[in-house]
Structure 1
């Protein structure tokens, strides 16, 4: 297996479409260059194209999800929020182990900023992951509303800005494009 000499911290944020897509694109490029990629997805439980894409690469690109299917966070009951918190804690502990064991070359924490926004993890917990990242691991974080403390720790921050979106015309999630 090839490996990175030096890994950095990338953040894809903003209110525009494309944060996860950019991370998956980086994953495909990395796998194509002999690197091993793990993607830990938060707040996503529906089938998506990236799950099928990852299967094409075998163990070179693996996607992990720990959450059971629920509605949007703001519609959850208190009981569902307790279950979700437990699932997020399991996912976070998985992330700690991946970093501790240097299990992959590129580690994507997809929609981790949504977890912060919903107060399911703290900024300190995410910063701890960044600080403990092995020198040769690339860490990619996605999601809206990235805190300044994480921007300060990152080496690359790209903001996706929505200029125009067909959602404004009533066109929502389309299979193969948004899912």
Structure 2
């Protein structure tokens, strides 16, 4: 039993001077470690490259072509677009009834582009405490910048709107203002 404890505690013992002199960390060591370590933004389960492919979507060739032109190619080949002076900031508005495949299309586009995907349900951003909704938007875009290239998919975005003058509408107005500020700075997401 004593031998087993010694074998388990080998890593706690200090290194001898001879062992320290032989110690060298090479680039190959870093490359091997990079395959084993996952960035903290992904460990939180906040963003990842989805496993949905265009074959899972089925049909919709025209929509696929639009996504390829405006989203996927810009992420895959940014140098080509910058060389010709094309603005890389872009977005697509998908609308339709629930269950028609908007989320699946966005996930397939992210997979095709090799981009991280962040799915945000509109009501998740709302908070009754002053400043918390704006902080949630800033945090969202900060995380997206950290794990770029990234596709942010806002689901149920209509929940972020209200009629003007409605009581409590100032919370939504401030949230929308912060969202527009972050979208205006979306160039940092590339």
Classify the TM-score, shorter chain. 0.3 to 0.5
In terms of fraction of residues, the more strand-rich structure is 1
Larger radius of gyration: 2
Normalised to the residue count of structure 1, the TM-score between the two structures is 0.32
In terms of fraction of residues, the more helix-rich structure is 2
